[in-house]
Structure 1
Amino acid sequence: MYDIEKLYQATSVEDAIKHLVDDPKAVVIAGGSDVLISIRHGKLAGCSLVSIYGLNELRGVSMLENGTIKIGPVTSFSHITKDPIIQKYIPVLGEAVDEIGGPQIRNIGTIGGNISNGVTSADSASTLFALNAEVEITGPSEKKVIPISEYYTGPGRVCLKNGELLTAIYITKDNYENFSGNYIKYAMRNAMDIATLGCSVSCKLNQEKNIIEDVHIAFGVAGPVPMRCFKAEEAIKGKLITEEMFNTFSSIVLTEVNPRSSWRASKELRLQLVEELSKRCLKEAIKKSGGIING
């Protein structure tokens, strides 16, 4: 049984915000794959819930007039993977969320919930970081759009204040056009497991496909929150694609991450994974771009 004091089904974003303001201790629930587990484990026992799962205005993927891709936070992982806009322009995001749990979890779990629990292991988070995603936050008096890097404030924490909701995720055209991406999840078992380390790379090549024009790399579980490695990115922009370039890239990445030891893996193992997966992930992204790796 679940110890829940009351459940309110919001009829609109404004209605949800009003109830969150009126009841500051209320918890937002969408698919419930995280919240219900927390309740069952006693962490949120006796809480009041405000459900936004029925709000179609927060569901789906669309293309705005300026080419920006808008993703509703209540969109399930399964819908993201199968969505034609995602498949055409940012298939790496569909591939990343397809690593989450099993079919049942992917059918009910939402991308907004995946990033709003604040955990560094969220499979969608590192890819959204690599895509330079922005998030829209709607509150009682204002609506704002911020980089996803500012959404995370610490382990298990995001910047949502009382009465605020995540209402959209945006990926602008300049962050996906002519880019190819790849995501690698390393876990203790092949299915239905939390990432020991997640690595996502998005890269753009020159017309001859032998030089890196732009690259973004992001990690999950390489630090307290998902993170980009900007120094490594800058080090290889404009560089010829060679094995030496990959070694340079991975060595600089190592200077930017800060993994910790846990029962899943030691810090030392995670550093080895960072070094190896950064190379593999970049190579696969280059291959998807039709790139040429010189000797």
Structure 2
Amino acid sequence: MFDLKTIIKAKTIDQAVKLLIENPDAKLIAGGTDVLIKLKQGKDGYARLVDIHDLEALNYIRFDDEKNILIGSGVVFSQIIQSDIIRDTIPMLCEAAKSVGGPQIRNIATMGGNICNGVPSADSAPSLFALNALLVIQREKGVRQIPIADFYKGPGRVNLNQGDVLIGFKITRDNYQGYKGCYYKYAMRNAMDIATIGCAVSLKTKNHVLVDYRIAYGVAGPVPLRCHATEQAVLHQAVSNALVDKISETVENDVNPRTSWRASRDFRMNIIKELSKRVTKEVFKRAGEKL
């Protein structure tokens, strides 16, 4: 049984903000795939909910006038998979969406919920990190935008105050145009499993030289992360197998996986290094490069 005391349906984003402020113990619910589990488990702080499920203002995938990609926080993963805009510009996000749960989960779980849950295993997070995504947050005093790297404060903790509502994601044109990318999820089962390690790579080459490189992981630390030292170490070098090996050798200095009941630190480190090779090679292939 759910120990649910109140649930209030918000009809607009502004009303959701107001309801959260008026009910300081309340939390948002959209798809509910994470919140309802916590509620059933009796976790503190989930007995009072503000429902933003099916708010049309949060359900969109479109370009703005500057060809930036805008994604509403209420978009579900099946919409990401089916979107021509996403498939044509940032297919790595489609790959991430396809790895989430099963069809039933993908039809109801939202992008916003996946990020706001704050867990390092969120499948959409590594791709959004590699794309330098901006998070658009509405609050009582207006709208703010923050880089996704500034959103995670620790395991299960994100940069949202009471009254804040994540309303969308913005991926600027200069962060996807000319780039190729890929997301790969390693899990113990082939379907419907939490990531043991998730890896996203986005890169750009010119004249067979790596001019920009981004590699991001889930479950490689307490929060999703970019490997900035590795990225800097391999810039402006010729595409080669030796470069791929260097990435694998360097990346372990950027991550801090932990031992849990699902996998040991050493096992995760091996997967991190191997995925850096596999995913980078795949993206080089997509970029028309030969190794």
Shorter-chain TM-score bucket reads over 0.9
> Contact 1:10/1:54 (CA < 8 Å) preserved in 2?
no
Provide the aligned C-alpha RMSD in A. Answer: 1.0
**Structure 1 residues 40, 65: CA separation in 2 closer, same or farther (over 3 Å shift)?**
same
> Contact 1:4/1:45 (CA < 8 Å) preserved in 2?
no
Is structure 2 residue 82 aligned with structure 1 residue 56? Answer: no
Report the counterpart of residue 29 of structure 2 in structure 1.
29
> SS at the partner of 2:174?
helix
> SS at the partner of 1:94?
helix
- Per-residue deviation at 1:60? 1.6
Is structure 2 residue 122 aligned with structure 1 residue 135? Answer: no
Is structure 2 residue 256 aligned with structure 1 residue 254? Answer: no
Report the counterpart of residue 220 of structure 1 in structure 2.
218
> SS at the partner of 2:2?
coil
Identity %: 46
Is structure 2 residue 69 aligned with structure 1 residue 69? Answer: yes
Aligned residue identity for 2:13:
V
Which residue of 211, 234, 237 corresponds with 2:235? Answer: 237
> SS at the partner of 2:5?
strand
Distance in 2 between the 1:90 and 1:183 partners? 10
> Contact 1:9/1:54 (CA < 8 Å) preserved in 2?
no
Distance in 2 between the 1:198 and 1:103 partners? 20
Aligned residue identity for 1:171:
I
TM-score, normalising length from structure 1? 0.97
Gaps in structure 1 of 5+ consecutive residues: none
> Contact 1:184/1:199 (CA < 8 Å) preserved in 2?
yes
Is structure 2 residue 199 aligned with structure 1 residue 202? Answer: no
> SS at the partner of 1:256?
coil
> SS at the partner of 1:143?
strand
Aligned residue identity for 2:51:
S
Map 1:125-204 onto structure 2 (within 5 A).
125-204=125-204
Gaps in structure 2 of 5+ consecutive residues: none
Distance in 2 between the 1:217 and 1:32 partners? 30
- Per-residue deviation at 1:44? 4.3
- Per-residue deviation at 1:89? 0.4
TM-score, normalising length from structure 2? 0.98
Distance in 2 between the 1:46 and 1:62 partners? 33
Distance in 2 between the 1:42 and 1:164 partners? 24
> SS at the partner of 1:255?
coil
- Per-residue deviation at 1:237? 1.4
Report the counterpart of residue 278 of structure 1 in structure 2.
276
> Contact 2:59/2:72 (CA < 8 Å) preserved in 1?
yes
Distance in 1 between the 2:123 and 2:178 partners? 23
Distance in 1 between the 2:104 and 2:46 partners? 26
Aligned residue identity for 2:245:
N
- Per-residue deviation at 1:112? 0.3
Report the counterpart of residue 79 of structure 1 in structure 2.
79
> Contact 1:199/1:218 (CA < 8 Å) preserved in 2?
yes
Distance in 1 between the 2:46 and 2:116 partners? 21
> Contact 1:11/1:54 (CA < 8 Å) preserved in 2?
no
Is structure 2 residue 115 aligned with structure 1 residue 122? Answer: no
Distance in 1 between the 2:175 and 2:284 partners? 16
Report the counterpart of residue 47 of structure 2 in structure 1.
47
User: How big is each residue's C-alpha offset from its partner over 1:62-118, in whole Å with a ceiling of 9 and x where there is no partner?
Assistant: 101111100000000000111111011001101111101000000000010000000
Report the counterpart of residue 289 of structure 1 in structure 2.
287
